[in-house]
């Protein structure tokens, strides 16, 4: 019989203890299991290809960094990959000559399920949705939450395919999450026109939320890769592609959020990305929100040159004009010409109609002249009153989620809000006159969509 020495016995015990106890705690500290993400493409239609492409690419980045699929909730309409206009059926690309980003994406909310109500319920961990087998955030005070949203937006509004979400409702949702200890720290990346207005003068720096946006409160964001010869749409958005490629091409376990933001601001040429909320969180590494394990760096992304940038507001026109300049069949040319004329006519109608609406409101004493209201850009401060006006406008005038060219003029109503000290009575009076003005000048406009 062989005897084990005391020293060998002790070393064996130490080794066993280390293998069973300490590595578990270390792995928890360094794993991505406490990272949870919500990725949302808020649009549909092939002309909005870029939003779903951005979200699919973001999903692939998180998965490649070790974030478990069960920790990622994806909302996307899912009408792009197999769209009849897609020259690559079943595939989606976010950069030219890149990989297909659609394969393997776990789509949790599709079609009509992609709406503002479900989005807020997902963030709040709604028990009724969970009971139906739908994924919602089921997170606690030690978890890090990453939210990425890409779609159309306007002053204090971001859109879904059939409805919109106001800055007031979004920030109330984030406050609920904080009060109910649904995260330790949260980052929010937002891609839309005038996206800064969703957080400016409303996001508290006491919520442990760090947000960055594609644009400041007053400007459009830009699509990119709108110049590809074989597809008549934009593959991505300038801000989104900037942060996604940065996350894909760097060791994000050693890259602070602030470093990534500075890279994005240098890369994005046509809008002004912004930071909001608790900016001390920007000292944390990107990997704490997007996953840290990484087998290799994708060298391809280092050589991607962003081209074909175009103002998001005018991409529908740009796409149609590109089609008409290409070698189309006579039927395709006729269809594209018809669509282009409809878009132009719809926009011209709305340009006149919104001015008439504001003129009528001015005659009721809420402003001086429509020209004055339309010529300035006041920072939105009274988000609560504005949110109620947006909902009234969508219900009685124009649903800007469907007729998203209408987002272009929502700043005018923010100007009116900021020039009036609305109390409940005067706000109700304004909403009444707004409904009447819309009935007189906008309702029954005859366009399926003003885009």
Q: What are phi and psi of 39, to 5 degrees?
A: -115, 125
Tell me what pLDDT residue 47 has: 96
Per the domain annotation, does 27 fall within a domain? no
Locate 10 and state its tokens. Answer: 């002790």
Per the domain annotation, does 4 fall within a domain? no
The mean pLDDT value for 85-101 works out to 97
* pLDDT over 90 (residue 232): yes
Q: Is 51 one of the catalytic residues?
A: no
Q: Are 273 and 368 part of one and the same domain?
A: no
In angstroms, rounded to a whole number, what is the distance separating the alpha carbons of residues 241 and 135? 27
* pLDDT over 60 (residue 265): yes
Structural domain span for residue 400:
327-441
Per the domain annotation, does 447 fall within a domain? no
Could you say which of 257, 281, 313 is where a domain stops?
Answer: 313
Locate 451 and state its tokens. Answer: 């885009």
The mean pLDDT value for 172-180 works out to 98
The domain spanning residue 339 has which CATH number? 1.10.132.130
Q: Are 152 and 287 part of one and the same domain?
A: yes
Q: What region does 66 belong to: left with phi over 0, alpha with psi -120 to 50, or beta?
A: left
Tell me the pLDDT band of 32, cut-offs 50, 70 and 90.
low
Q: Is 152 one of the catalytic residues?
A: yes
For residue 191, give the DSSP letter: E
Q: Are 307 and 381 part of one and the same domain?
A: no
Per the domain annotation, does 98 fall within a domain? yes
- CA dist 108 → 55, 66, 140, 177 (Å): 13, 19, 21, 21
Q: Are 306 and 339 part of one and the same domain?
A: no
In angstroms, rounded to a whole number, what is the distance separating the alpha carbons of residues 138 and 100? 30
Q: Are 277 and 352 part of one and the same domain?
A: no
Per the domain annotation, does 291 fall within a domain? yes
Per the domain annotation, does 20 fall within a domain? no
If 0-12 CB within 10 Å is exposed, 13-18 middle and 19+ buried, where does residue 280 land? exposed
Q: Quick one: which of 57, 20, 21, 65 has its CA closest to 39?
A: 57
Per the domain annotation, does 17 fall within a domain? no
Q: Quick one: which of 349, 363, 183, 189 has its CA closest to 276?
A: 189
Query: Number of folded domains in the chain?
Result: 2
Q: Are 359 and 261 part of one and the same domain?
A: no
Question: Which is catalytic among the residues 36, 51, 144, 152?
Answer: 152
In angstroms, rounded to a whole number, what is the distance separating the alpha carbons of residues 285 and 273? 19
Element (H, E) at 73: strand 72-75
Q: Are 140 and 57 part of one and the same domain?
A: yes
Question: Which is catalytic among the residues 56, 57, 159, 193?
Answer: 193
Query: What is this structure's pTM?
Result: 0.92
Per the domain annotation, does 360 fall within a domain? yes
Q: How confident is the model over 113-130, as pLDDT tens digits?
A: 999 999 999 999 999 999
Q: Are 115 and 245 part of one and the same domain?
A: yes
Q: Are 297 and 336 part of one and the same domain?
A: no
Q: What are phi and psi of 271, to 5 degrees?
A: -145, 175
In angstroms, rounded to a whole number, what is the distance separating the alpha carbons of residues 169 and 120? 9
Q: Are 205 and 281 part of one and the same domain?
A: yes
């Amino acid at each position: 019989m062989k005897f084990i020495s005391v020293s060998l016995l002790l070393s064996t015990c130490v080794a066993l203890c280390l293998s069973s106890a300490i590595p578990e705690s270390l792995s928890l500290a360094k794993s991505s299991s406490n990272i949870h993400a919500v990725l949302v493409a808020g649009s549909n239609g092939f002309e909005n290809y870029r939003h779903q492409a951005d979200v699919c690419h973001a999903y692939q980045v998180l998965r490649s960094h070790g974030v478990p699929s069960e920790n990622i909730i994806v909302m996307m309409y899912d009408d792009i990959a197999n769209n009849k206009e897609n020259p690559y059926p079943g595939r989606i690309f976010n950069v030219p000559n890149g990989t297909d980003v659609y394969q393997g994406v776990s789509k949790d909310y599709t079609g009509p399920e992609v709406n503002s109500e479900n989005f807020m319920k997902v963030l709040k961990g709604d028990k009724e949705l969970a009971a139906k087998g739908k994924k919602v955030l089921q997170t606690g005070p030690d978890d890090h939450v990453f939210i990425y949203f890409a779609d159309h937006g306007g002053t204090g509004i971001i859109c879904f395919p059939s409805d919109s979400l106001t800055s007031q409702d979004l920030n109330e949702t984030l406050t609920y999450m904080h009060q109910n200890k649904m995260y330790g720290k949260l980052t929010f990346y937002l891609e839309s026109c005038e996206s800064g207005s969703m957080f400016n003068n409303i996001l508290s720096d006491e919520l442990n939320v760090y947000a960055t946006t594609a644009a400041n409160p007053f400007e459009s964001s830009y699509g990119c890769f709108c110049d590809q010869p074989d597809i008549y749409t934009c593959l991505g958005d300038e801000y989104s592609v900037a942060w996604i490629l940065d996350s894909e091409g760097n060791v994000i376990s050693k890259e602070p959020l602030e470093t990534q933001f500075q890279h994005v601001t240098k890369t994005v040429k046509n809008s002004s990305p912004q930071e909001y909320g608790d900016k001390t969180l920007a000292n944390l590494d990107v990997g704490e929100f997007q996953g840290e394990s990484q087998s290799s760096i994708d060298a391809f992304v280092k050589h991607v040159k962003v081209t074909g940038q175009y103002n998001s507001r005018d991409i529908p026109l740009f796409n149609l004009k590109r089609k008409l300049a290409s070698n189309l069949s006579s039927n395709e040319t006729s269809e594209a010409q018809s669509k282009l004329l409809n878009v132009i006519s719809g926009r011209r109608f709305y340009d006149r109609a919104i001015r008439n609406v504001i003129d009528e409101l001015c005659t009721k004493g809420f402003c001086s002249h429509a020209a004055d209201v339309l010529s300035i850009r006041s920072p939105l401060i009274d988000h609560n009153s504005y949110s109620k006006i947006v909902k009234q406008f969508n219900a009685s005038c124009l649903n800007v989620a469907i007729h998203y060219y209408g987002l272009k003029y929502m700043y005018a109503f923010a100007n009116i809000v900021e020039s009036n000290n609305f109390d409940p009575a005067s706000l109700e009076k304004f909403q009444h006159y707004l409904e009447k003005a819309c009935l007189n000048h906008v309702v029954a406009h005859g366009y399926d969509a003003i885009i």
